[in-house]
Amino acid sequence: MYNPNSFYEQVLLQESHEKIHLNSIRLISAGTANQSVLLYTDKGPLFLKSNFQDSPEMFHQEIKGLNLLRKNCPLQIPKTVGSGRLDNQNYLLIEWIEGGYPGADYWERLGHGLAEMHMATSPVFGLEDNNFISILPQSNLQHEKWVDFYINERLEPMLGKAFYEKTISKSFYKKFQLIYPKLEGHLPKEKPALLHGDLWSGNVIVNSQGQPCLIDPAVYYGHREMDLAFSKLFGGFEGRFYDAYHNIFPLEPGFSSRADIYNLYPLLVHLNLFGKSYLPGLKKIIKKYV
């Protein structure tokens, strides 16, 4: 007789060093790519994310990203249990963070915590391993110059994918590339900073103590303004967050005018994930600079 919980029980058996009994499950989300569930066990609740993608290393890289953030960030980052693949299904098993309501100093703590995380640096831009942003491969080939990394490992791969899949025309593909020679003149030179990489409001949650926690990273060492620009793209971050960040790690003047340039990348990501509704936003930015 088919047991719908057998997959979850197999994951617990494979990843635990002690016998864990699964009491019940609760569906958290069921998107087009991943399914997320809360596993109630006799050892406490655990969060499980799974999918049927062809890339079994996807969640392994997410665990590495979470662990890297935890070493360098004062904010709460979920503790990792393990990842793997069972019956063509990939899974990620991590700590469950019980939710709550933002405390009075929530945005200040988030700003201070992100600033401290961005102080973690590397000799080069990129990362030793490639990883993913959502379900899309993310190249982290290392470069000494930020502009070279941004063009070759962020913009070009996503632009090329959109052209290959006929989401954009050849004329827009060529027009987009005209922005590349202009980037160095617009972007301030800074040391590589450890980035969350996918910093929008959905990837910042509130724990039961009312404090911010970071989830679902796409980490690499890049220009810290990438995270801050991404945080502005879909709203959800209050002004107190940016003030608190600036008090700890001030930005060069003119960040607001540069944010569009950094957001070319997440807009290309969303274009490839969700389709042409994100094309007008890209065209508006390119028209501004080309």
Q: Among 29, 60, 95, identify where a domain stops.
A: 95
Domain count within the chain: 2
Residues 177 and 81 in one domain: no
Residues 75 and 122 in one domain: no
User: What confidence tier does 1 reach under pLDDT thresholds 50, 70, 90?
Assistant: very low
Which CATH number characterizes residue 238's domain?
Answer: 3.90.1200.10
Listed in sequence order, the residues at least 6 apart from 192 whose beta carbon sits closer than 8 Å to its beta carbon are 121, 122, 123, 124, 125, 126, 146, 221, 222, 223
pLDDT, average across residues 138-165: 98
User: What confidence tier does 55 reach under pLDDT thresholds 50, 70, 90?
Assistant: confident
Is position 215 within any domain? yes
Residues 116 and 217 in one domain: yes
pLDDT, the chain, mean = 95
User: What confidence tier does 228 reach under pLDDT thresholds 50, 70, 90?
Assistant: very high
User: What confidence tier does 73 reach under pLDDT thresholds 50, 70, 90?
Assistant: very high
Residues 116 and 54 in one domain: no
pLDDT number for residue 2: 45
Residues 191 and 275 in one domain: yes
Distance CA 51, CA 61 (A): 15
Instruction: Check whether 122 has a pLDDT greater than 80.
Output: yes
**Residues 187-197 pLDDT 10s:** 999 999 999 99
For residue 35, give the 3-state DSSP assignment: strand
Distance CA 29, CA 161 (A): 27
Is position 101 within any domain? no
pLDDT number for residue 5: 75
Phi then psi dihedrals of residue 121, to 5 deg: -130, 175
Is position 209 within any domain? yes
Residues 170 and 249 in one domain: yes
Residues 128 and 197 in one domain: yes
Q: Give catalytic residues, as residue numbers.
A: 198
pLDDT number for residue 20: 85
Bridge partners of 126?
221
**Domain assignment of residue 233, given as a range:** 106-289
pLDDT, average across residues 54-73: 95
pLDDT number for residue 120: 98
pLDDT, average across residues 72-77: 98
Residues 131 and 87 in one domain: no
pLDDT, average across residues 248-262: 96
User: What confidence tier does 4 reach under pLDDT thresholds 50, 70, 90?
Assistant: low
Instruction: Check whether 94 has a pLDDT greater than 90.
Output: yes
Instruction: Check whether 25 has a pLDDT greater than 50.
Output: yes
**Residues 174-212 pLDDT 10s:** 999 999 999 999 999 999 999 999 999 999 999 999 999
Instruction: Check whether 97 has a pLDDT greater than 90.
Output: yes
As a residue count, the chain comes to 290
User: What confidence tier does 18 reach under pLDDT thresholds 50, 70, 90?
Assistant: confident
Instruction: Check whether 8 has a pLDDT greater than 60.
Output: yes
pLDDT, average across residues 120-145: 97
Residues 203 and 89 in one domain: no
Is position 84 within any domain? yes
> Helices in the chain by DSSP H: which ranges?
6-15, 58-72, 106-118, 146-149, 156-164, 170-177, 180-186, 225-233, 239-248, 255-262, 264-274, 279-289
Residues 148 and 30 in one domain: no
Residues 69 and 45 in one domain: yes
